[in-house]
Structure 1
Amino acid sequence: MARKNDLAQGADRAHVAWRRLPAGIWAIGFVSMLMDISSEMIHALLPVYLTVGLGASALALGVIEGIAEATAAITKVFSGALSDRIGRRKELAALGYGLAAVTKPVFPLATSIGALVAARFIDRVGKGIRGAPRDALVADLTPPDLRGAAYGLRQSLDTFGAFLGPLAAVALMWVFSDDFRKVFWIAVIPAVLAVALILFAVREPARPKGQRRVRNPLSRAELRLLGTTYWMVVIVAALFTLARFSEAFLILRASEGGLSLMLVPLVLVGMNAVYALSAWWVGALSDQRGRIGLLAIGLGLLIAADLVLAFAGGLTGIAVGVLIWGLHMGFTQGLFAALVAEAVPPELRGTAFGMFNLVTGLALLAASVIAGALWEAAGAQWTFVAGAGFAAVAIVGLVPLARRLTRQADAART
């Protein structure tokens, strides 16, 4: 009964937040959605295109995916810090979306693994430029009591795009008789629309009067001001990311389990459908009930997903594991963003999100390489078992963070 009440409260909270959230949050959400439609149309097909079409190994795929995401993470540090220094977020976010849109035509034009790696690399640089300024801008636009809902909404719309992208890829692969390049060309269109939307529909709020100016956001003195709570959030997120390797391995698991080439993108369709449906109401519920308990549930779901994917004997079991994986994403990604935004001074939010993404991006690089190596050496089963082990360690890391947040809340009340 208590669980049903929590779900009902989450739905009610999401309904109220829907009316109160600023228009700029909705615009940013739709920008993310359009760019994800474009990116996931490509990403849903890229692992199979690389391994089947161009002969890359699973280990090579892990290295490519890890380097691509780590590149984005490193770029986020500097773009986030720059947004703090100049006191502006929108221009850098628009630049990042623009760069990603410009590089999309490279994917259908590429004829070798090297060219595709370069295209993926440049695309992720664009993601890196926009990521931290955009996430800081969400906090700048949103009232404090709606931050969980705001990050949840952006994540839901972003993930809805990640749901539509692979679905479109499946349909277009059928229409174009498995012609990868034609599908990649269609993916250019939503990317261009995303750039237009952020340029004309998002308005950045004026800098608050009296807010401290930051000259060197990456100096030791400024990084120290981020505080112990922030760094504890970063450590827990890094442990979590070691368990959450690239979703490319979900695609390979389904392909290994017998899913046909044309239907492989349905893996991301199912995962992202659950992710999109859960992220908003989880974020809204966290504004009322707290974030740590929901994060613990999310990590428990990741352990369950890993174990199901490790020991599933057929496509039905793999499908269940993929759906649980999507649910764990809905319980975690927006909550980590909200915790980062709340842990640091407003003038350092860009730097905070940049450093957060650097650490988690390096963890993703390590996770993807480890996953690829385990896959090559011992098979899919041990890859997912190892992921479950890292997730269990991350749950343990939530305990001191929860205690610190409780002490801070008690001190604020007194």
Structure 2
Amino acid sequence: MNKNIYYLGFVSFFTDLASAMITPVLPLYIVYVLNEGIDKLGIVVAVATFVSYFFRILFGYLSDKYQIIKPFILFGYLLSAITKPLFAFSSSYGNIAFLQSTERMGKAIRSAPKDTLISYYAKKDESGKTFGLHKTMDIAGELFGALIILAVFYIYGDSVEVFKNIFLFTLIPGLIGVLIVLFFVEDAKYTHKNLKYRFEKEDSKLFPLLLSYFFFMFFVFGDSFFIITAKEAGYSTTFIPVFVIVLTLTQTLCSYYFGVMSDAKSSVYVLKLAYIFGIFSITALLYDFLWLGFMFLGIFTVASLNATRSYISKNAINQASVYGVFYGGIALFSSLGALSIGAIWHYFGQQSAMLFSLSGMILVLMIFLFLAKAK
């Protein structure tokens, strides 16, 4: 594979290491340290998710139109790196929602151009393998970040001061990722010189599959809610990172495999499997099999992302624009889903939220299978 694929992998490794130090901490900090309700957590997740994904439409379009790739990638990573430590100074869910949205804006800026750069350097007929390898590097960083949090909680406890020091420490790996982009990652030009900045007929054929994914994401029980579920089940704050390690380790072990499967079989086949594992994840939670729930969530995450990104890479004409729409659809549906699940949990209870998630995912899978068979 091209060296830039590996460089970008290491960038994601360090950036996701920093992000993984936030993942198990932030939901607990909002609900149990700041004493905000689960509905407030839903609001934070919804706002941050919307910003993270919706603005990928804009920057995907700008990347296509003005041929801007590396500058967007660099600025996006820099914005994320300098925002994470500021969580240490937050005192309300409103502050956290603003900072999390700003940090996610950095991801919005870099995501579509980064996917385009990966596609540019990927060898023909190996896009699934390339994205699988890159996702493996992402998740390896998340695994190390979760291990660091486990060690910190075990040694120093879970006081408010420990939470704040964790936030501050994320600056170091974040800046390492920025430096790798600045000095090692090479920019690239598009092979198509005269792109029309509208969707071609071939691009529109991708939308039915993407729409099914958007609806499925609406009903997905996100990792923040999984973490609170574990806490409500009686697990200590110190032990919570172990579940995150299970989640990320599962993704690390499965990502490359599902990438290769997307090439060997088809992206549609892998997406079907992903939907099934998504349903298994919430079913496991309902029956108190938390370990299996986190594992199945990990499989769903990597399988669905690898399948959809590979599908776009192989079939889209204006790739960055289609990637932008892909992430924009996730923005709308995932944010509304997080708001709905948080509100249902707050007003009707945890089990009602789980049943809402499960029934919705089953319905989407049934429709997807019916349409795939009809086609």
Pair in the same fold by TM > 0.5: yes
Residue 300 of structure 2 is matched in structure 1 by 328
Give 2:96's aligned amino acid. L
Give 1:165's aligned amino acid. G
Following superposition, the deviation at residue 88 of structure 1 comes to 2.9
Alignment equivalent of 2:104, drawn from 124, 127, 130: 124
Structure 2 stretches of 5 or more lacking a match? Answer: none
Q: CA contact under 8 A between 1:245 and 1:364: conserved in structure 2?
A: no
| Structure 2 length-normalised TM | 0.94
Residue 343 of structure 1 is matched in structure 2 by 315
Following superposition, the deviation at residue 289 of structure 1 comes to 1.4
Residue 93 of structure 1 is matched in structure 2 by 73
Name the % identity.
Answer: 23
Deviations 1:240-291, CA, capped at 9 Å, x for gaps: 2113242100001100111101111222211111011101111012211112
| Structure 1 length-normalised TM | 0.85
Residue 389 of structure 1 is matched in structure 2 by 359
Deviations 1:174-216, CA, capped at 9 Å, x for gaps: 33332111111111111001111112221133432x63234xx
Alignment equivalent of 2:225, drawn from 237, 240, 249: 249
Residue 409 of structure 1 is matched in structure 2 by none
Alignment equivalent of 1:182, drawn from 140, 161, 165: 165
- Taking the aligned partners of 2:169 and 2:194, their CA distance within structure 1 comes to 45
**Mapped pair 1:362 → 2:338:** no
Q: CA contact under 8 A between 2:12 and 2:141: conserved in structure 1?
A: yes
Matches within 5 A, 1:109-148: 109-148=89-128
Residue 194 of structure 1 is matched in structure 2 by 177
Q: CA contact under 8 A between 1:34 and 1:191: conserved in structure 2?
A: yes
Residue 294 of structure 1 is matched in structure 2 by 270
Q: CA contact under 8 A between 2:44 and 2:96: conserved in structure 1?
A: no
Q: CA contact under 8 A between 2:85 and 2:169: conserved in structure 1?
A: no
Give 1:301's aligned amino acid. F
- Taking the aligned partners of 1:196 and 1:254, their CA distance within structure 2 comes to 37
Deviations 1:121-169, CA, capped at 9 Å, x for gaps: 1101111101111111111111231000111111121122222222211
Q: CA contact under 8 A between 1:59 and 1:369: conserved in structure 2?
A: yes
Residue 228 of structure 1 is matched in structure 2 by 204
Structure 1 stretches of 5 or more lacking a match? Answer: 1-20, 407-414
Give 2:106's aligned amino acid. G
Alignment equivalent of 2:239, drawn from 252, 263, 271: 263
Alignment equivalent of 1:273, drawn from 249, 259, 272: 249
Give 2:334's aligned amino acid. L
Residue 18 of structure 1 is matched in structure 2 by none
Residue 284 of structure 1 is matched in structure 2 by 260
- Taking the aligned partners of 2:171 and 2:270, their CA distance within structure 1 comes to 37
Following superposition, the deviation at residue 120 of structure 1 comes to 0.8
* C-alpha RMSD of the superposition: 1.8
Q: State the SS of the aligned residue for 1:223.
A: coil
- How many matched pairs? 372
Alignment equivalent of 1:69, drawn from 32, 46, 49: 49
- Taking the aligned partners of 2:368 and 2:130, their CA distance within structure 1 comes to 23
- Taking the aligned partners of 1:118 and 1:226, their CA distance within structure 2 comes to 38
Change (3 A) 1:128 1:307: same
Residue 372 of structure 1 is matched in structure 2 by 342
Q: State the SS of the aligned residue for 2:193.
A: coil
Change (3 A) 1:30 1:284: same
User: Which shifted more, 225-234 or 33-42?
Assistant: 225-234
Following superposition, the deviation at residue 400 of structure 1 comes to 6.8
